[in-house]
Amino acid sequence: MRAFVFPGQGSQKVGMGVELAQASPVAREVFEEVDDALGAKLSAIMAEGPEDQLTLTENAQPAIMAHAIAVLRVLEKEGGLALTGVADCAAGHSLGEYTALCAAGAFSLADTARLLRLRGRSMQAAVPVGVGAMCALLGADLEKAQALADAASEGQVCEVANDNDPGQVVLSGRREAIERAVSLVKEHGIKRGVLLPVSAPFHCSLMQPAADAMAEALDKTPLQAFRVPIYANVSAAAVTDPSEEQRLLVEQVCGRVRWRESVLAMRAAGVEEFVELGGKVVGPMIGRIDPEARVTSVVTMADIEALAKEIA
């Protein structure tokens, strides 16, 4: 069995998609459609920057999605590999779950772009800049990370946001609590704590205003039937029912990204091969979660041709 997986925030970089757009009219169409949906030249920011504009959450989220969908569409239309023919399920890390849903036909490309722009804006607006923070704990498992979060909170929000792999957990919350957590890592047997260069404390209860905004937007943009099951971040389980997935997407804004468990659940269901489209971020995590799993990252035209050849 094979899963298609999609990266989350942090995988954006200036120049993303340029080579693909030059090589393929299919990729150019994707970028144009996203620009039209947003009424803005996101493709120009992706290609030329400036970096601080691309890093803005409201730009980074639709940009990462557009890049991954461009890779998928080229694979489908030029490589002759339909998603349903080659993938048994799909999943994405945080915003990547929206990419997975777009790939599976649950959302149109234009709707996915608009939803992610709103998601980025509402997550940014939920907490004033500087009030929240996130940190990555290296050499921490979930148990150690939870104990540290509890110790550092002192009545402030300090929560596990991402359980990425066996040695990396991310905390999110009030800046003072997150800074306390970083200072306490050694006492909790954790190798290192690193403050992340993010503009808001994602995936914690401070994001409730953004969850409310997404609930309203998702009501107006209902999901269609999926072509393959999607493994949801907050449940780490396969979902096939659009109304259940809609509820989980709202929960996902404040909820934990259970990536490690999602990968283990896909493995338990028989997935042997993971193909990451549009990045090289979740692939390495999967390798750390289960070194036995086969992982391929597909970003460039050469990657697409190699995968098409291998699967064909």
Catalytically active residues, by annotation? 94, 203
**Calpha distance 223→245 (Å, rounded):** 8
The 8-class DSSP code of residue 257 comes to B
Structure tokens at 203: 């995936």
b/e sequence 119-139, b meaning 16+ C-beta within 10 Å: bbbbbbebbeeeebbbbbbee
β-strand pairing of 158-165 with 168-174: antiparallel
Vertex 302: Cα angle to 297 and 308 (nearest 5): 75
Amino acid at 51: E
**Calpha distance 74→72 (Å, rounded):** 5
**Calpha distance 187→202 (Å, rounded):** 25
At 237 the three-state DSSP class reads coil
Instruction: Give the DSSP H/E element, type plus range, for residue 133.
Output: strand 132-138
